[in-house]
Chains A and B, each alone.
Chain A
Amino acid sequence: MGFDRRNFFRTIGVAGVTLAVGKSFGSVTTKDNIVEFQAMLYDSTRCIGCLACERVCAKVHNLPEPPEGLKAGVVRKTTETQRVAINNCNTSKGEVFVRKSCMHCNEPACTAACLTEAMHKTKEGPVIWRESKCMGCRYCMVSCPFDVPKFEFHSANPKIQKCDLCYDRIKEGKIPACAEACPGDALTFGTRRELISEARKRIFENPKDYINQIYGEEVAGGTGLLYLSSAPFSEQGFDPKIQNSSYPALTKGFLYSVPSVDVLLPPLLLGIYAATKNNHSKEEDNE
Chain B
Amino acid sequence: MFKDNDGNSIMKFLKRELKPKAKLLTPFNLISIPIILLGLGLIVIRFWKGLGAITNLTQEVPWGLWIGFDVVTGVAFAGGAYVVTFMVYILNMKEYRPIVRVTVLNGFLAYAFYTGALLLDLGRPWNVVNPIIGNNFGTSSVLFLVAWHFLLYMLAELIEFSPAIAEWLGAKRATKILSGMTIGAVIFGITLSSLHQSGLGALYLMAKDKIHPLWYSEFIPVLFLVSSVFAGLSMVIFEGSISHKVFYDQMSEKNIKSQDGIIHGLAKICSVAMFAYFFLQFLVFLHDRNWEYLNTPMGYWFLVEMIGFVFTPMLLFFYSYRLNNIFLIRLAAVLTMIGVILNRLNVTVIGFRWDAATHYIPSWMEIVVTLAVIFTEIWIFRWVVRRMPVLRESPVWAKHDHD
Q: Residues of A at under 8 Å CB distance from B?
A: 77, 79-80, 109, 111-118, 132-139, 141-143, 145, 147, 150-158, 239, 241-243, 247-248, 250-251, 253-255, 258, 261-262, 265-266, 269-270, 272-273, 276-277, 279-280
Contact = CB atoms under 8 A, between A and B. Distances in A.
Interface string B188-216: 10110011001100111111111000000
B117 interface: no
Contact of B143 (A136, A137, A158, A262): A137
B170 to A, nearest CB: 29
Given A151-B123, A254-B142, 16 more contacts: A112-B206, A115-B141, A138-B63, A142-B203, A142-B207, A154-B53, A156-B48, A156-B50, A157-B124, A243-B208, A248-B206, A254-B202, A255-B140, A265-B190, A265-B191, A269-B186
A139 B141 contact: yes
B68 to A, nearest CB: 11
B239 interface: no
What are the nearest 3 A-B pairs in CB distance?
A136-B123, A153-B52, A136-B124
Contact of A258 (B128, B195, B206): B195
Contact of B131 (A116, A145, A152): A116
B50 A158 contact: yes
A137 B131 CA distance: 12
B51 interface: yes
B208 A270 contact: no
Interface stretch (B87-95, B99-107, B270-278): B87-95
A277 to B, nearest CB: 6
Given A116-B130, A258-B145, A250 B206 contact: yes
A145 B194 CA distance: 28
10 contacts: A79-B59, A114-B141, A133-B130, A135-B125, A142-B63, A142-B210, A151-B51, A151-B62, A262-B191, A273-B92
B313 interface: no
Given A114-B141, A269-B90, A276-B92, A251 B135 contact: no
A143 B206 contact: yes
Contact of A251 (B127, B188, B202): B202
A77 B58 CA distance: 13
Contacts of B401: none
Given A138-B63, A142-B62, A261-B195, A276 B90 contact: yes
Contacts of A116: 127, 130-131, 135-136, 138
B43 to A, nearest CB: 13
A273 B141 contact: no
Interface in B167-194: 183, 186-188, 190-191, 194
Given A115-B141, A116-B131, A152-B50, A109 B206 contact: yes
Residue among A117, A137, A156 facing the most chain B CB atoms (10 A cut-off)? A137
Interface string B62-93: 11000000000000000000000010011110
A206 B148 CA distance: 55
B49 interface: yes
Contacts of B140: 111-112, 248, 255
B190 A269 contact: yes
B143 A139 contact: yes
B10 interface: no
Contacts of B13: none
Interface in B102-157: 121-125, 127-128, 130-131, 135-138, 140-145, 147
Contacts of A151: 51, 59, 62, 123
A134 B125 CA distance: 9
Contacts of B390: none
Residue among A143, A241, A247, A265 facing the most chain B CB atoms (10 A cut-off)? A143
A277 B92 contact: yes
Contact of B218 (A77, A242, A253, A276): A253
B92 A132 contact: no
A269 B187 contact: yes
Given A115-B131, A261-B195, A250 B124 contact: no
Contacts of B235: none
Contacts of A111: 140
A278 B218 CA distance: 40
Nearest to A111: B140
B18 to A, nearest CB: 34
Contacts of A158: 50-51, 123-124
A117 B136 contact: yes
B335 interface: no
Residue among A112, A151, A243 facing the most chain B CB atoms (10 A cut-off)? A151
A134 B124 contact: yes
Given A135-B130, A262-B191, A114 B51 contact: no
A239 B52 CA distance: 27
Contacts of B218: 250, 253
A135 B124 contact: yes
